[in-house]
Structure 1
Amino acid sequence: MDIWFHPSKEIDLLLRDVAASLGFDPSFDPQVRPADPRFGDFQANGVLPYAKGRSENPRNAANLLLGAINSSPKFDASLIETSVAGPGFINFKLTDKFLLAWLGKYKGESELKEASSAFYNGRKVIIDYPSPNTAKQMHVGHLRPMVIGEAVKRLLKFCGADIKCDNHIGDWGTNFGILIHGIKTGGYVLDENNENSLEDLERMYKAGSKLAKESRADADAARAELVKLQNGDPENVALWNKINSVSSAAFDRMYKTMGLTIDMTFGESYYRDKVDRIYRELEETGIARKDQGALVVFIDEHERFKTQPFIIRKSDGASNYASTDLATLLYRVENFAAEEIIYVTDGRQQDHFQQLFLTAQKWFGAKGYKLPKLRHVWFGTILGPDGKAIKTKSGEPIRLKSLIDESVARAREIVEQKSPETPAQEADKIARTVGVAALRYADLVQNRTSDYVFSWDKLLAFEGNTAPYLLYAVARMHSIFRKSGFDADADADIDVAAQSGRFETERERTLARKLVALPALFELTLSELRPHYLCIYLYELAGIFSAFYNADKVIVDDAATRARRLMLCARTFRVMETGLRLLGIEPLEKM
């Protein structure tokens, strides 16, 4: 029997295999779940409902399955102990031999990544984030799609997905008429190197919008500039390109700060010449129809959407989000062979994406196109102390750059308080890492579909489930290795010696079990695309390691004990570092 990377999954497959050989119905579900540690690591609960549904004795059925398992060449009783409990539960307990062998086999990030690649096995995935609108500054609301999208992308890539991030920016719309009119009349010069360009453009747009409401002449002038842009006027197209170029330069600076890995950027404007096909095919298949001058889709089998239209083309003939999103979906399938597409947006767009997915399902089905798996990873709102969306005192959205700068400054103060002897350059690096990581982790640790209240005290705390706590835990492990002279990567002899023994304490065994639970954690996180599961796992792992290290001395005279405990330290260290990087956080060697 091989040392399984994902024991609960393999136990499930083995149970299904032996059940089929015994003549069980193909509908049999073993229902393998984590068990009470007193009885084992996993428990199969599916025998009870299966047997009762057929008026059979569940305990007899469980014993029959267990006998077949123990006779299987795929199973080794020296690695996993089994028993039947109660009315028919089957318990599985990983032995010390299995746990130590697992730690020896999956010893580093490369081994974990190779084994985890089986989850997606090269599946082609497009993930759509952070997708800001050009000519606007990023605000606190952009934090969530950036950090959630990046964490999801990194996890899927680690687990074998052939994944690309498409930054579907909003670079087309009526606002450009006002902006171009303002640039021309105000003589404003766009400069990519000017870090205040987006602030200037926002101010210009607000002033222009106010003028357009107050003055018919200004409104007509802005509308005329928009029409010229839409008709391809060279001067206006050049200004539009410059606005987007300035925006992209500002965005890129923010992406670098936040460690985003953008693979391609196809804005809404890219699909302007691709929407006519969408209109034609939806009408030809009878999915869309004209209603009050607009082209719309009603989903008759949906309670709300049978009367709530999905507007594909507006009554004035203009395209909108629905038409460009459908064109984008088709483009990703035809040009990137996407098998799965993930959209990361706030929860207010749930209706839009439900209608988009249902429309795509009908359309692709009618045309015989292969529909990819479509997933909407939506998130809640960041709240202020008053329970409302967080804003400045003047009621404006908090700029993301200002938020990051303040977080770094606060982290710098903490570094000075805790380690005043730290050289300035090193303190700046620590503060930068901790400040950005604290913002990122405070968001990721939340269940993404929940709103949460922003708190400086909580996110920068060195106690509790925070980035500073986890970064400090990893830095402490670095310190342990430095003091012991142990190389977590190079000491192969330690691994060999460690695997030949048994655990002496329950703390050792508990830590090993937590490490072996990593694949199940990946499976859970992938199933729901909720990074907070990984955050909780890392926090629990750090706590279990701390309890082990504080109670079980690592550097002892007995060679086997020292080797085993050093291996536990090394594996915990690697999993912690790997987990933090999957969340977009780069660990520190010193704090």
Structure 2
Amino acid sequence: MHVTFHLADDLAHALHQAAAAAGLDAAAFAPDLRTADPRHGDFQANGVLGYAKARKLNPRTVAEQLIAALPAPIAAAFDVTIAGPGFINFTARPATLLAWLRAYHSRATLATGAAAAHAGQTWVVDYSSPNTAKQMHVGHLRSAVIGEAICRLLAFTGARVIRDNHLGDWGTQFGKLIYGFKRWADPAALAREPIEELERLYKLGNDATPEGSPALDEARRELVALQNGDPANVALWKKFSDVSLAAFQQIYDRLGIHFDHHLGESFYNDKVDRVYRELTETTPPIAENSAGALVVFHDEHPRFSRQAERPNPFMVRKADGASGYASTDLATALYRVEHFHADGIVVVTDFRQGDHFEQLFLTVKKWFAAKNYRLPELHHVTFGAVTGEDGKALKTRDGDTIKLKALLDEAVDRAFAIVSEKNADLPETERRSIAEIVGIGAVQYADLSQNRSSNYVFSWEKMLALDGNTAPYLLYAVARVHSIFRKQNLTPADPATEAHASPLHTPAEIALARKLVKFPDALRLATDTLRPHFLGLYLYELAGEFSSFYSADKVIVDDPAIRARRLLLCARTLLVLETGLHLLGLRTLTRM
């Protein structure tokens, strides 16, 4: 039996064929196929009701006509029933489930099946984006892990993904940093803890340059010298950038993140003049002068119109002639289209930048339309805040922002204590290796398992728990499946073992198989919405379904055909769990 990766796509196509064969208006009929409540089936077609209502037909009669006209292969592959006024439910038969499990037996076959979604497309994902010369803190966590998961989802579904770390590496703060560096730099501290030393020097420089002071004038002269290409200041600025990137990379390595480019604000410094020119040369101009500044008004948008209670123009160039975020972000959008040939652009930042990116995208659309530039898909992926259990911003006991390095270190230390308590007989090096994966994974997954639009409460107890929707629970599920094969000295997904598998039979076997074939639907939902938590929820439910199967049906039985089919189910569960967790950015374990 031939099955495709998305069984739902087979059904949607078959319903269109059935509509034409039954004499319905096939062009107007939309199946509206959805994943069903497991009690009713695997998939449900809801489109009959709207189609019948618009034509004053009896929906159950229309549903019966469609079922009678379904192509023979679909009729053979699914049990089909009508529920309520005309919902059509499809339940994959055991033979269909087994055929899918046999067809999608490796990460490569899963990826091949998924790749059609974005094949041939190029997507630029802009995430993390910390400011140079400052340590990354807990506020940088969400952009980094959500952005990386989105990159992996897009790549798995066929896109060429370009990861861009749009660093905050330009601006007025560098005048104060250079001022502080030239007076108080400690070479030993710079060698030992470079980014911490740069933070100290910036604070000293900032404190020493109050408004109206001669020192502030000196810091501004340092900035002007940098902007004008003074070799000494440019060398210092480059040193700050190199030191920062090296420190950031230590954290990215622990999170499994790599970037293709680190094109910060400085990269676009010489590209903003084109933006100014092109926004003002159109008829009528897209940007206009307002009190000396160059701004774009989006009068057609009620939230951004000049008649609004709080006028909110998009400032492309400041009144003093300086560029800002709007200038460089517009230049960035154009560069990504012209240089990377982006079909889609995703920018991952917190929700507080929502207004900025909404106006940015509105401006890009007007600008590109006026210049006849190709417009890519534009997505601003926002996320809520990380709070403590008191509902307030996560802080140290002293009230300082928690550094991301310290947060990850504490996660690993806590995981090591748990691993040592449960597996004291393991060598310390192995316990530390497990703790690194579990601790970092717990932090990543605590974020990714949440709907990104919501704030979430950071709780060590919950994120490191071995039950519930947590990384330790899912990593343990993976390790448990590995142990089944290890104890039998078998390799997961060995064709020689699986060849003897008999048809799926028990309720627990069928329930697990039904969950496994829903992986493509969870993957599609997470990717289409750019919300990784949908995949996390699916993996949690899959682990629960496997646990029920493992409790109900003994895997290693005497009958070779039954043993083979249950080992096949174990192998596919392992495959989907590991593939899904890797797509979310987590590393997995064979022992835990």
- TM-score, normalised via structure 2 length: 0.96
Q: Sort the Cα spacing of 1:78 and 1:297 in 2 relative to 1 into closer, same or farther, 3 A.
A: same
1:15 matched residue in structure 2 = 15
Q: Sort the Cα spacing of 1:364 and 1:214 in 2 relative to 1 into closer, same or farther, 3 A.
A: closer
**Structure 1 residue 189: Cα displacement:** 3.8
1:60 matched residue in structure 2 = 61
Contact 2:479 2:589 in 1 (8 A): yes
**Given the alignment of the two structures, is residue 454 of structure 1 paired with residue 455 of structure 2, yes or no?**
no
Q: What is the SS of the residue equivalent to 2:288?
A: strand
Q: Sort the Cα spacing of 1:86 and 1:380 in 2 relative to 1 into closer, same or farther, 3 A.
A: closer
Contact 1:192 1:246 in 2 (8 A): no
Deviations 1:52-105 (A, max 9, x none): 11111222222222222135xxx3432222233443222222111100010001
- CA distance in structure 1 between the partners assigned to 2:188 and 2:358 by the alignment: 39
The 5-angstrom pairing of residues 23-422 of structure 1 reads: 23-24=24-25, 26-70=27-71, 75-189=73-187, 194=192, 196-213=193-210, 216-285=213-282, 286-307=285-306, 308-422=312-426
- CA distance in structure 1 between the partners assigned to 2:455 and 2:10 by the alignment: 37
1:574 matched residue in structure 2 = 575
Q: Which runs of 5+ in 1 are unaligned?
A: none
Larger mean CA deviation between 40-49 and 351-360 belongs to: 40-49
Q: What is the SS of the residue equivalent to 1:461?
A: coil
Q: What is the SS of the residue equivalent to 1:47?
A: helix
- CA distance in structure 2 between the partners assigned to 1:79 and 1:545 by the alignment: 24
Q: Sort the Cα spacing of 1:82 and 1:187 in 2 relative to 1 into closer, same or farther, 3 A.
A: closer
Q: What is the SS of the residue equivalent to 2:490?
A: coil
Q: Sort the Cα spacing of 1:214 and 1:289 in 2 relative to 1 into closer, same or farther, 3 A.
A: closer
- CA distance in structure 2 between the partners assigned to 1:395 and 1:37 by the alignment: 48
The 5-angstrom pairing of residues 532-543 of structure 1 reads: 532-543=533-544
Q: What is the SS of the residue equivalent to 1:557?
A: coil
Q: What's the Cα RMSD here?
A: 1.5
The residue type equivalent to 1:467 in the other structure is: A
The 5-angstrom pairing of residues 543-562 of structure 1 reads: 543-562=544-563
Contact 1:190 1:242 in 2 (8 A): no
Contact 2:14 2:74 in 1 (8 A): no
- CA distance in structure 1 between the partners assigned to 2:261 and 2:77 by the alignment: 47
Q: What is the SS of the residue equivalent to 1:122?
A: coil
**Structure 1 residue 41: Cα displacement:** 1.6
Contact 1:341 1:374 in 2 (8 A): yes
2:309 matched residue in structure 1 = none
1:495 matched residue in structure 2 = 498
**Structure 1 residue 191: Cα displacement:** 8.2
- CA distance in structure 1 between the partners assigned to 2:188 and 2:218 by the alignment: 21
- CA distance in structure 2 between the partners assigned to 1:573 and 1:350 by the alignment: 39
Q: Sort the Cα spacing of 1:188 and 1:27 in 2 relative to 1 into closer, same or farther, 3 A.
A: farther
The residue type equivalent to 1:590 in the other structure is: R
Contact 2:118 2:158 in 1 (8 A): yes
- CA distance in structure 2 between the partners assigned to 1:101 and 1:76 by the alignment: 13
Q: What is the SS of the residue equivalent to 1:589?
A: coil
Q: What is the SS of the residue equivalent to 1:12?
A: helix
Q: Which runs of 5+ in 2 are unaligned?
A: 307-311
**Structure 1 residue 485: Cα displacement:** 2.2
Q: What is the SS of the residue equivalent to 1:497?
A: coil
Larger mean CA deviation between 216-225 and 180-189 belongs to: 180-189
Instruction: Determine what percentage of the aligned residue pairs are the same residue.
Output: 55
- CA distance in structure 2 between the partners assigned to 1:54 and 1:254 by the alignment: 60
The residue type equivalent to 1:321 in the other structure is: Y
Number of aligned residue pairs: 584
Contact 1:225 1:236 in 2 (8 A): yes
- CA distance in structure 1 between the partners assigned to 2:505 and 2:58 by the alignment: 40
The residue type equivalent to 2:251 in the other structure is: M
Deviations 1:172-231 (A, max 9, x none): 00011011111112244498753x211111122122112111771211110110111111
Contact 1:190 1:197 in 2 (8 A): no
- CA distance in structure 2 between the partners assigned to 1:433 and 1:230 by the alignment: 43
- CA distance in structure 2 between the partners assigned to 1:130 and 1:321 by the alignment: 16
Contact 1:78 1:97 in 2 (8 A): no
**Structure 1 residue 27: Cα displacement:** 3.3
Q: What is the SS of the residue equivalent to 1:69?
A: coil
The residue type equivalent to 1:4 in the other structure is: T
- CA distance in structure 1 between the partners assigned to 2:271 and 2:79 by the alignment: 60
The residue type equivalent to 1:314 in the other structure is: K
